[in-house]
């Protein structure tokens, strides 16, 4: 009779898979792409097409999956899709098309799945607008410019809005805080209050923007708190920041050996979503470069100076011995000797100080502690 037990009827739990939001941050610095094209034969249009196929594949996983594309441009970060409300998403070249060409476009549109087509058209059209609005002179002056921190910030704020029910309530909430099972939008949520999982893919061709070290690190920690993995596909110039981003957030880090085959890297390495990643062994970088950039000159350092109060990093003792971050007066007197050869130490001073400290510390202890009598 023990077998006739009804309790299992209550324990039937549906393990639900939440949909995923994929945010793609794409470098759009024309000069950087050009030099990549020359070295490894991957042009920007080819890469964009492959990325769009990747986005489509992501959308194909589930009808509720969503995708966003952010351009990391030379002078700022811009949403390519979803385009900011109020922007004209029609193709700027469309007005010049003949009726025949327009019909051809309509025909080819009919052979695409609606969700895929909308994303693709939007990305391509806003990208064209972005490039048109860019001053060629500015491009020439900024071969390595990148707005990584801005793009990451946009991505994270967008994720916060979409994945946490549009309430924006995460700002005063603590991650992991138990919420109701249904959020304001009526969607299903998991125990951390999110309606969707999210992941960020950074496709990067520019070197580290060292000037943005602090802001980038702050974005990385924000992503860590939101449990959003930052995946990195580094096509050119190995970077310190992005390695750390992937490492800290549990994302995938790949530097493709053959950038022409970008699509296959994307499909195998970056496509698996939250659920699949729990059961897969993903490629990550083992020897992560943990070097930091200094706060004063934004140089990437092996060894530097650290403020004892706020842990700010400096490549040399700050001016007037005042920390530029927390305004603490630092005692830099003992730093004077660092870096100098040992023989060059002022012997006399050292001896005296050593003697002083010895006598200072010895006198009271000699008085207090019992001395064994011989």
Partner 1 sequence: MAATAQSMRGFEHLEGLPEAVFKRLYQQPATALAIFRRMLPNLGKTFVMAMLFNPDPIPISSLEAWVHPNKNSLKEEAFAKLRQLHLVTERQGTFALDPTFKVELKKALTGGGPPGCFGLPCDTDDKKKVDVSFLDKYATEQWESILHFMVGNEVPSSRRPSEGVVRLLLHGKLMEKARSSQETIITQLGFSFLLQEVNSQVWTLLLLYLDMAEQLRMDPVDILHFLFLLGSLELGQDYDMKSLTPTQKGMLEDLRDYGIVYQRKSSSRRFYPTRLATALTSEVRALSSPATTMRNAISQSDENGFLIVETNYRMYAYTNSPLQIAVLNLFARLISRFPNLVTARITRESIRLAINKGITAEQIIDYMTANAHPQLRKNTPILPPTVVDQIRLWQIEGERMKATHGYLFKEFTSNSEFNAVCKYANDIGVLVWADKPKMMLFVSKHEQIADYIRKRVQSNK
Q: Is 267 in the site for partner 1 (CB under 8 A)?
A: yes
Nearer CB in complex with partner 1: 57/322: 57
Radius of gyration, alpha carbons of the chain: 28
Which part of the chain contacts partner 1 (CB under 8 A), choosing from 14-22, 135-143, 150-158, 241-249? 14-22
* Residues in 115-144 at the binding interface with partner 1, rule: CB under 8 A: 116-117, 120
Answer positive or negative: Cα dihedral of 20, 84, 231, 127: positive
Whose Cβ is closer to partner 1: residue 112's or residue 349's?
112
In whole angstroms, what is the distance from residue 121 CA to residue 89 CA?
8
* Site membership for partner 1, residue 284 (CB under 8 A): no
Closer residue to partner 1 (CB): 3 or 320: 3
Least distance to partner 1, CB of residue 343, Å: 57
Query: For residues 236 and 205, is the Cβ–Cβ distance under 8 A?
Result: yes
Phi-psi region of 86 (alpha: psi -120 to 50; beta: other; left: phi over 0): left
Burial letters for 76-100: b for 16+ Cβ neighbours within 10 Å, e otherwise?
Answer: ebbbbbbbeeeeebebeeeeeeeee
Residue 315: CA count within 13 A, CB half-sphere: 12
35, 89, 167, 188: residue in contact with partner 1 (rule CB under 8 A): 188
272: contact with partner 1 by CB under 8 A: yes
In the bound complex, what is the minimum distance in angstroms from residue 243's beta carbon to partner 1?
23
Residue 4 interacting with partner 1 (CB under 8 A)? yes
Distance between CA atoms of 201 and 276, rounded to whole angstroms? Answer: 16
What is the closest distance, in whole angstroms, from the C-beta atom of residue 273 to partner 1 in the complex?
Answer: 7
- Binding to partner 1 (CB under 8 A) within 225-264 occurs at 263-264
In sequence order, the β-bridge partners of residue 322 are: 329
Exposure of 36 by Cβ count < 10 A (0-12 exposed, 13-18 middle, 19+ buried)? buried
Complex with partner 1: residue 264 or 357, whichever CB lies closer: 264
The reply on whether position 109 binds partner 1 by CB under 8 A is yes
Contact assessment for residue 38 and residue 31, using Cβ atoms and an 8 Å cutoff? no
Residues found near partner 1 in the complex (CB under 8 A): 4, 6, 9-10, 12, 14, 16-17, 19, 53, 56-57, 60-64, 103, 106-114, 116-117, 120, 186, 188, 263-264, 267-268, 271-273, 275-276, 278-281
């Amino acid at each position: 009779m023990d077998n006739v037990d009804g309790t299992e009827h209550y324990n039937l739990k549906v393990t639900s898979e939440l949909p995923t939001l994929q945010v793609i941050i794409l470098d759009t610095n024309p000069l950087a792409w050009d030099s990549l094209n020359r070295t490894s034969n991957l042009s920007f249009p080819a890469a964009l097409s492959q990325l769009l196929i990747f986005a489509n594949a992501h959308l194909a996983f589930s009808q509720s999956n969503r995708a966003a594309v952010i351009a990391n441009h030379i002078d700022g970060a811009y949403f390519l899709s979803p385009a900011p409300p109020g922007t004209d998403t029609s193709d700027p070249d469309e007005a010049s098309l003949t009726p025949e060409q327009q019909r051809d476009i309509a025909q080819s549109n009919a052979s695409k799945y609606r969700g895929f087509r909308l994303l693709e058209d939007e990305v391509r059209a806003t990208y064209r607008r972005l490039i048109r609005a860019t001053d060629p002179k500015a491009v020439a002056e900024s071969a390595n410019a990148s707005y990584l921190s801005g793009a990451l910030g946009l991505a994270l704020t967008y994720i916060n809005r979409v994945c946490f029910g549009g309430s924006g309530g995460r700002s005063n909430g603590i991650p992991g805080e138990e919420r109701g099972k249904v959020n304001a939008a009526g969607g299903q949520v998991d125990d951390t209050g999110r309606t969707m999982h999210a992941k960020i893919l950074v496709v990067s061709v520019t070197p580290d923007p060292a000037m943005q070290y602090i802001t980038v690190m702050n974005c990385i920690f924000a992503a860590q708190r939101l449990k959003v993995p930052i995946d990195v596909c580094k096509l050119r110039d190995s970077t310190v920041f992005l390695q750390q981003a992937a490492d800290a957030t549990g994302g995938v880090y790949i530097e493709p050996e053959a950038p022409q085959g970008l699509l296959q890297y994307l499909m195998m390495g970056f496509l698996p979503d939250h659920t699949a990643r729990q059961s897969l062994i993903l490629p990550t970088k083992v020897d992560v470069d943990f070097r930091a950039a200094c706060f004063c000159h934004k140089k990437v350092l092996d060894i530097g100076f650290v403020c004892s109060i706020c842990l700010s990093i400096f490549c040399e003792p700050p001016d007037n011995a005042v920390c530029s971050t927390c305004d603490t007066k630092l005692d830099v007197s003992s730093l004077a000797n660092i870096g100098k050869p040992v023989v060059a130490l002022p012997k006399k001073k050292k001896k005296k100080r050593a003697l002083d400290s010895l006598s200072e510390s010895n006198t009271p202890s000699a008085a207090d502690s019992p001395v064994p009598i011989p």
